[in-house]
């Protein structure tokens, strides 16, 4: 069929052209607050991917029955349901990560990326396309969380993958690398201003690379 | 999107119907997941509390289960919050061995600091741990046991005469003329924690009888934190 969605294009768009963290600048609150270590960023990224994909698929599958004027409350209801499920799953299977991420798991509900994709894409597209879109935006967001978290962890704490056992089980504790024996490296990196500056540098890098690609 | 062929009231009723349907499905989904994960979550929370308690209690000197033998007490002035806070009792047979108080330091640098303070029956501090705080990473967070052993400075301090002599030098920060070492560059944090532990010990002194004799709260009873 000639109007079959172009999955590659959808995927590339969510990952790069419309990356939620670097281009659309959505979901900045969790992005800045949780990107202090790589594992924390990865944990929240995984939770966000799950919620975006589940929401997109459900919103898309039920788009015929969602009343136009009530679509936003409906989307929020769906999002909140999946976020609560994710939180219960974290509490049951990754309790220490739940303690580390704290209030930012429930705050996924307020992440504009999810509501944005539901409204702009999933409510108008078939489920498979919605799933691909969700995956792309989720992975794009998670990638920024992981990269920013990794950089801030290396510079600010002198470690990488600290806390891996919270996500991958006790055996992975050996993954953690230590670059310096100081408990604290460049302090600014783990404080909020460091997060803003780090994100700004990543955005600048992304824009630079995109410009070069165009030539 | 359904085409708006029907009249507004009809559309409204249909919209309400579908939203209610969504809500019901969400409720079913959530209660199922909750039932499936409930036991694991309870186990995790219990393990967490046990780990915190065993970090402060002298391991082999009691034979009961302190996390089950708890009461709730309220003392805004000495325990730092007007919440009902749990006190866990450790016993050896009938003999009281130690009590673990929950206390709050309300004036940390960035907000409240929540502490578990174990005091043995003789009034000596057995151990202190921070269970919740928002202090600055690299500075105030040295109160965490895995960041520095400053919190161990409380272990072994004798608080039995604090109620009558609250200004004892061992319990005042060196910055304020006392003998207790402060954390470098984190005076406010240090002062808040020292004061909270001191007040908790005074509370223990004044209420020792009561603390060990009030019957334990029922398993699920009492406010959680």
Query: Tens of pLDDT along B131-155?
Result: 888 888 778 888 988 778 899 999 9
Please report the pLDDT score of residue B225 as a whole number: 40
Its pTM surpasses 0.90 = no
pLDDT band (50, 70, 90) for residue A205: very high
Sign of CA dihedral B169, B172, B178, B179: positive
Please report the pLDDT score of residue A138 as a whole number: 94
* Residue A121 neighbours by CB distance under 10 Å: 21
Would the CB atoms of A67 and B29 count as touching at under 8 Å?
no
Better-predicted residue by pLDDT, A211 or A174: A211
Would the CB atoms of A78 and B34 count as touching at under 8 Å?
no
Please report the pLDDT score of residue B32 as a whole number: 96
Beta bridge partners of B115: B103, B130
Question: Mean of the pLDDT values across residues B54-75?
Answer: 87
pLDDT band (50, 70, 90) for residue B8: confident
For A106, residues 6+ apart whose C-beta sits below 8 A from its C-beta are: A83, A84, A87
Can you tell me the distance from the alpha carbon of B152 to that of B144, in angstroms, rounded to the nearest whole number? 10
Helix axes A38-61, A127-157, angle to 10 degrees: 170
Question: Mean of the pLDDT values across residues B3-18?
Answer: 75
Q: Is the confidence at residue B53, as pLDDT, over 80?
A: yes
Strands (E), A107-212: 159-160, 177-178
Question: Mean of the pLDDT values across residues A9-30?
Answer: 88
The per-residue pLDDT of chain B, averaged, comes to 87
Token duo for residue B136: 């600055």
pLDDT band (50, 70, 90) for residue A140: very high
pLDDT band (50, 70, 90) for residue B61: confident
Token duo for residue B218: 């029922």
Question: Mean of the pLDDT values across residues A127-143?
Answer: 94
Would the CB atoms of A93 and B40 count as touching at under 8 Å?
yes
Please report the pLDDT score of residue B1 as a whole number: 52
**Contact at 8 Å (CB) between A183 and B140?**
no
Q: Which residue of B has its CA nearest to A70?
A: B15
Please report the pLDDT score of residue B160 as a whole number: 82
For A73, residues 6+ apart whose C-beta sits below 8 A from its C-beta are: B19
For B83, residues 6+ apart whose C-beta sits below 8 A from its C-beta are: B74, B104, B223, B225
Q: Is the confidence at residue B29, as pLDDT, over 90?
A: yes
Question: Mean of the pLDDT values across residues A58-84?
Answer: 90
pLDDT band (50, 70, 90) for residue A36: confident
Please report the pLDDT score of residue A1 as a whole number: 43
Would the CB atoms of A85 and B29 count as touching at under 8 Å?
yes
pLDDT digits (tens, 9 = 90+) for A157-179: 888 888 888 888 777 777 778 77
Q: Is the confidence at residue B221, as pLDDT, over 70?
A: no
**Contact at 8 Å (CB) between B203 and B75?**
yes
* A&B contacts, CB < 8 Å: 75
The per-residue pLDDT of chain A, averaged, comes to 88
pLDDT band (50, 70, 90) for residue A3: low
3-state secondary structure of A66: coil
Q: Is the confidence at residue A181, as pLDDT, over 80?
A: no
pLDDT cut 90: percent of chain B above it: 43
Lowest-confidence pick of A8-17, A38-47, B191-200: A8-17
Compute and round to an integer the Cα radius of gyration of chain B: 24
Q: Which residue of A has its CA nearest to B46?
A: A95
Would the CB atoms of B41 and A88 count as touching at under 8 Å?
yes
CA of B2 to nearest chain A CA: how many angstroms apart? 6
User: Of A40, A215, A48, A68, which is closest to residue A136 (Cα–Cα)?
Assistant: A48
Better-predicted residue by pLDDT, A214 or A127: A127
């Amino acid at each position: 069929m000639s109007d079959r969605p172009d999955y590659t294009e959808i995927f590339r768009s969510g990952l790069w052209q419309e990356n939620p963290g670097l281009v659309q600048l959505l979901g900045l609150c969790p992005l800045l607050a949780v990107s202090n270590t790589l594992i924390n960023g990865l944990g929240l990224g995984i939770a966000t991917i799950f919620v975006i994909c589940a929401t997109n698929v459900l919103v898309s599958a039920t788009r015929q029955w969602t009343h136009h004027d009530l679509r936003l409350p409906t989307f929020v209801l769906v999002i909140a349901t999946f976020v609560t499920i994710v939180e219960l799953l974290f509490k049951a299977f990754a309790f220490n990560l739940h303690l580390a991420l704290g209030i930012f798991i429930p705050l996924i509900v307020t992440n504009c990326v999810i509501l944005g994709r539901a409204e702009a894409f999933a409510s108008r597209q078939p489920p498979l396309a919605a799933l691909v879109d969700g995956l792309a935006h989720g992975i794009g967001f998670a990638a920024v969380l992981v990269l920013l978290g990794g950089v801030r962890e290396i510079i600010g704490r002198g470690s990488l993958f600290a806390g891996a056992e919270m996500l991958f089980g006790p055996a992975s504790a050996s993954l953690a690398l230590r670059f310096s024996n100081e408990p604290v490296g460049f302090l600014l990196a783990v404080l909020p201003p460091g997060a803003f500056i780090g994100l700004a540098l990543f955005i600048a890098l992304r824009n630079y690379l995109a410009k070069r690609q165009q030539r | 999107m359904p085409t708006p062929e029907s009249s507004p009231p009809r559309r409204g009723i249909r919209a309400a119907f579908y939203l209610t349907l969504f809500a019901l499905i969400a409720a079913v989904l959530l209660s199922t997941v909750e039932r499936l994960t409930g036991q694991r979550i309870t186990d995790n929370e219990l393990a967490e509390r046990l780990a915190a308690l065993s970090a402060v209690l002298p391991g082999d000197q009691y034979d009961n289960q302190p996390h089950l033998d708890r009461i709730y007490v309220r003392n805004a002035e000495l325990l730092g919050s007007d919440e009902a806070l749990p006190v866990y009792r450790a016993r050896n047979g009938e003999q009281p061995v130690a009590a673990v108080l929950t206390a709050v330091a309300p004036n940390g640098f960035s907000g409240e600091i929540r502490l578990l303070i174990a005091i043995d029956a003789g009034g000596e501090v057995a151990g202190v741990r921070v269970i919740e705080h928002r202090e600055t990473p690299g500075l105030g967070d040295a109160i965490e046991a895995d960041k520095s052993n400053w919190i161990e400075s409380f272990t072994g301090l004798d608080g039995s005469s604090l109620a009558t002599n609250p200004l004892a030098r061992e319990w005042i920060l060196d910055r304020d003329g006392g003998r207790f070492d402060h954390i470098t560059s984190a005076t406010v944090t240090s002062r808040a924690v020292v004061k909270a532990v001191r007040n908790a010990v005074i509370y223990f002194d004044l209420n020792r009888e009561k603390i060990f004799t009030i019957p334990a709260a029922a398993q699920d009873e009492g406010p959680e934190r």
